[in-house]
Structure 1
Amino acid sequence: MTTTLAAVSANFTRDLEQNYTLITTLTERARAAGVHFLVLPEAAIGGYLSSLGNHGDTVRTTKKSLPPAIRLDGPEIARVQQIIGDLTVAIGFCELADDGETRYNSAAILDGTQVYGTYRKVHQPLGESMSYSAGSRYGVFDTPVGRVGLQICYDKAFPEAARLMALDGAQIIASLSAWPAARTATAQNLQDDRWTYRFNLFDTARALDNQVFWVSSNQSGTFGSLRYVGNAKIVDPGGNILATTLLDSGMAVAEVDLDATFRTTRAGMFHLRDRRPDVYGPLTAPTAFHEAGWKAPAHA
């Protein structure tokens, strides 16, 4: 039995109607291609922050440029569900917590009738914590396309995140991003940019590390001061890129056989089976335990 996976590279803005129109177009394309699981980017509802770092958007400085904060049971998610129908979709958005104030950079996996799982971004880069609170857990969810884990953007730089989900039985990990090019010394050809290189390397490494299917979406084009690198892709458990958009907006689509691929890939070296947790103790030690070793030596 085969499953068709799709990862999107597209530009989503503050204009919710633009977002819904784009989701409709992408859903129609996915249906025409026989897609079962469609992964949209981080912040596909309402767009991402317009800048990062010390001059980034923050709750403290402005509310004009912040993504709209929405509730899981709000009209925005309901509108998306109405659009996608029976297609299983992962989508990113700014989630408003029950207290009416706390905001999370979140993702959900859903179809027209059910939300199968949600995730709040754990790892925050370049001052993102000034705009969002951090999540504190990773989950794996049973869906019509198999067991799926969710992560967002910078999470892919941390092997522990994907490994936790693989150990929880994830067959597919959906990695939703708004990953920009480098802010300094940006390459003239963004495909050669060092941040593009890292984005692509993390995708292939995490798929191979855990021998899972990796579905990586990303924003494309520009928003505020950010230039996104696209490169949505499908990676198989051997680290092979099956389809990619490169820098362009579009949809990377691949038809895969989950069970047959796992049998073949894991027949010899099965990374999850061959782990040695008994020697990994320092990985869970408090951060302070390691800080002395991280500090650069003082110059005379």
Structure 2
Amino acid sequence: MTIGFAAAAANFGRDVEENLRQIGTFVEMARARGVGLLALPEACLGGYLSVLGSGRDGSHDEKPESLPPVMDVDGPEIARIARMAGEMTVVVGLCESDGAERYNSAVAVTGDGVLGVHRKVHQPLGENLHYAAGDGFASFDSPVGRLGLLICYDKAFPESARALALDDAEVIACISAWPASRTATAASLADDRWTHRFNLFDAARALENQVVWVSANQTGTFGSLRFVGHAKVVGPGGEVLATTGVDDGLAVAHLDPQAALETARRAMFHLGDRRPATYGAAIREAVDA
């Protein structure tokens, strides 16, 4: 069955009501193009952190009143997005709390409610000063197939996507607020070295796990950050099927995920051809170190 996959590139700030309006616009744009899965950027509800520190650690110098607003995955904002989504699967990013800790989270919803939640595990540039880390990766069933979620820096670690693929993920949505380099900024975002890394990770994670990869990202600026855009859909062979480049917009690709996975895995099935017994000692040593 052919399904439309879409990734959004746009700027989202602190104004939650405006965020919800933007999300509604993207949902309607996606629906008009026959999309079944729409991924929106990290922190599209309430905005990201403002990086103000100038040291090597790039610390997030945030005052409590300037932090993203805390939301509940069972709260009114997610309920509104679920109503917007209807038959579509929509992935959004928000600052979530369990009552004790804040988390940088991704939530997948349909009109029937919340399908799955992922709390960002890998924390760059002092993000741990304001968020607790998630503690795992798990896929879940969705109308577009077995789905996994990642957030931004998670994709820099092969184990993250591999854990989802080994949990039978067929589609991985990775939502980001991925910035340009702050130490060697290129005149053009398209030429920025962090843009290159963002695109490289997207293609590599899709190819090595032979999954459909849907990558959303912020654009514009927030605090001292300048985001690189480049929302995209990548096929299980690592080919970029659609991209927004540095601009705002929607990258949309239609494909039959089951057929695409079968084609990609017919000659070389990376997950099936693994030799886990040979990796054990190195993995144990790394964990124990």
Same fold (TM over 0.5): yes
Q: Which residue of 2 aligns with 1:124?
A: 123
Q: Which residue of 1 aligns with 2:175?
A: 176
TM-score normalized with structure 2 length: 0.95
The alignment status of 1:154 with 2:158, answered yes or no, reads no
After superposition, the C-alpha distances for 1:243-294 in whole angstroms (9 at most, x for unaligned) are: 00000010000001112112211111110011011111212435553xxxxx
Give the count of matched residue pairs: 284
- Once structures 1 and 2 are overlaid, which stretch shifts more, 264-273 or 74-83? 74-83
Matched AA of 2:225: L
Gaps of 5+ in 2: none
Q: Which residue of 2 aligns with 1:41?
A: 41
Q: Which has the larger radius of gyration?
A: 1
Q: Which residue of 2 aligns with 1:68?
A: 69
After superposition, the C-alpha distances for 1:137-161 in whole angstroms (9 at most, x for unaligned) are: 1010100110000000001100011
Matched AA of 2:108: I
Question: What is the CA–CA distance in structure 2 between the aligned matches of 1:137 and 1:81, rounded to whole Å?
Answer: 25
Check whether the contact 1:57–1:66 (CA below 8 A) recurs between aligned residues.
Answer: no
Matched AA of 1:77: I
Check whether the contact 1:57–1:131 (CA below 8 A) recurs between aligned residues.
Answer: no
Question: What is the CA–CA distance in structure 2 between the aligned matches of 1:78 and 1:263, rounded to whole Å?
Answer: 36
Is the partner of 2:35 in helix, strand or coil? coil
Question: What is the CA–CA distance in structure 2 between the aligned matches of 1:139 and 1:57, rounded to whole Å?
Answer: 32
Matched AA of 2:237: G
Q: Quote the offset at 1:57 in angstroms.
A: 3.8
The alignment status of 1:23 with 2:27, answered yes or no, reads no
Check whether the contact 2:36–2:87 (CA below 8 A) recurs between aligned residues.
Answer: no
After superposition, the C-alpha distances for 1:50-89 in whole angstroms (9 at most, x for unaligned) are: 116454144xxx2122111111111121122222222210
The alignment status of 1:56 with 2:45, answered yes or no, reads no
- Any residues of structure 2 matched to 1:95-106 within 5 Å, and which? 95-97=96-98, 100-106=99-105
Question: What is the CA–CA distance in structure 2 between the aligned matches of 1:286 and 1:194, rounded to whole Å?
Answer: 29
Q: Which residue of 1 aligns with 2:285?
A: 285
Question: What is the CA–CA distance in structure 1 between the aligned matches of 2:284 and 2:222, rounded to whole Å?
Answer: 37
Q: Quote the offset at 1:123 in angstroms.
A: 0.5
- Once structures 1 and 2 are overlaid, which stretch shifts more, 138-147 or 259-268? 259-268
Gaps of 5+ in 1: 290-300
Is the partner of 2:8 in helix, strand or coil? strand
Is the partner of 2:94 in helix, strand or coil? strand
TM-score normalized with structure 1 length: 0.92
Matched AA of 1:66: L
Q: Quote the offset at 1:113 in angstroms.
A: 2.1
Is the partner of 2:179 in helix, strand or coil? coil
Is the partner of 1:187 in helix, strand or coil? coil
- Any residues of structure 2 matched to 1:229-268 within 5 Å, and which? 229-268=228-267
After superposition, the C-alpha distances for 1:91-128 in whole angstroms (9 at most, x for unaligned) are: 1110011xx23100001111122211101011111110
Is the partner of 2:149 in helix, strand or coil? strand
After superposition, the C-alpha distances for 1:136-188 in whole angstroms (9 at most, x for unaligned) are: 01010100110000000001100011111111110000000000000111000
